[in-house]
Structure 1
């Protein structure tokens, strides 16, 4: 049942979209179709991922006040109350970023499996109004066979993943004299791994599967870099003004 839901809601729509794109792109260049489809999906997910980026940036701006609360010496209940008040005042949801990322995961995995399964358009999964492309060209721009492993695309996938992690909002620094909480340490550790370790994992996976998957990853990462720069340039998340000293609990 879950497999049927997966195919109906996610896998089949993406596969059919790719088949349609291949049929209208001159020469049936699957590589170009992969890029276009990835961009279209990213545009659809743009509001969700944008909110996630802004939420992380806002959390970093609130970090100094959160640290004041943690080091205020108040009881856990009072700290929780002040923390909730801080979030409410600045209209910040600390979990919104995580929730929005979780919403995107099934879509991203479905897109990934469209490429992973070999881009077969003759398995009965196409809608009645979607025709099998007359020409299917796996040689991207006449240069790289994306049906095979590609070291060049795999390296570019790893590099683009590094750039994507580099432009991500960085965890707030721990104040001097403070060891920081477990969540702070975990966030910093994850950021370091995403920046310096995950690119190698992405490059390895991209090379192990096919050039199509690598091309998807490259396009996705470049789009995310552009989105992060765009969100930052808009400066929708300004520096908040704190009218209350949360370290002493003034009202």
Structure 2
């Protein structure tokens, strides 16, 4: 069964994305693996823009009904099942679905997983066996980008990525300042995500940091535009 899962992963997920990465790499000036990661990060965010905007819309709706939900959550007379049912009665007519907001995150995590595998086994000629016949084989992969080696960790790029992520989490945190926070993760949310990301980025290839920088910068830009249009 394990071998079947690996074969499915390679056929359905890894090979298509690997070929997309190599195809994009062949088109970039240089060519450049860093530009490839940056360009694909933007492409993924544009393809998932609908779900991102839906997520912002749902956040706004939830903020409007949050007092009603909070009242239900703190009603000790209700059982957990009754609370879920009553909260569902409030959110269901609004069309709020956690699926919309989770799609961008899941898609990016999936790509980051494949990107790590590509850096480990796909940048050398031995990995070219996974290329489709119509995709040109690069003579080699240029992993240098802005003075950084995309195949190795970078403290500077990790710090930049974490700082942008902190700004994004802090923005969302302040937008929901009226929300009652009781758990540790809720209270320290703006710091938990950046801290966890920093630990990972310090040991992972800096291509991940480039992807995160591009993705978060895209999110901040779109969010700024959305806020300006609401005024």
TM-score by length of 1: 0.73
Residues 208-244 of structure 1, C-alpha deviations (whole Å, 9 max, x = no match)? 1222122122112212222333344444xx9xxxxxx
Residues 30-72 of structure 1, C-alpha deviations (whole Å, 9 max, x = no match)? 1111100111122222222332333233212211122344567
Cα distance in 2 for residues equivalent to 1:72 and 1:205: 40
**Which structure 2 segments of 5+ residues have no match?**
none
2:36 match: 33
Larger radius of gyration: 1
Q: Which moved more, 1:82-91 or 1:156-165?
A: 82-91
2:201 match: 206
Relative to 1, partners in 2 of residues 1:80 and 1:152: Cα closer, same or farther, differing over 3 Å? closer
1:224 is the counterpart of 2:228: no
Residues 122-175 of structure 1, C-alpha deviations (whole Å, 9 max, x = no match)? 31111111111245322214x22222232211111211221221233644635x
Between Structure 1 and Structure 2, the one with more helix by share is 2
**Which structure 1 segments of 5+ residues have no match?**
175-179, 239-251
2:64 match: 61
1:132 is the counterpart of 2:137: yes
Alignment of 1:96-107 (within 5 A): 96=99, 100=103, 103-104=106-107, 107=110
Relative to 1, partners in 2 of residues 1:7 and 1:194: Cα closer, same or farther, differing over 3 Å? farther
Q: Would you say the 8 A contact 1:147–1:211 is kept in 2? A: yes
Cα distance in 2 for residues equivalent to 1:91 and 1:71: 24
1:248 match: none
Q: Would you say the 8 A contact 1:69–1:83 is kept in 2? A: yes
TM-score by length of 2: 0.79
Relative to 1, partners in 2 of residues 1:38 and 1:68: Cα closer, same or farther, differing over 3 Å? same
Cα distance in 2 for residues equivalent to 1:198 and 1:79: 29
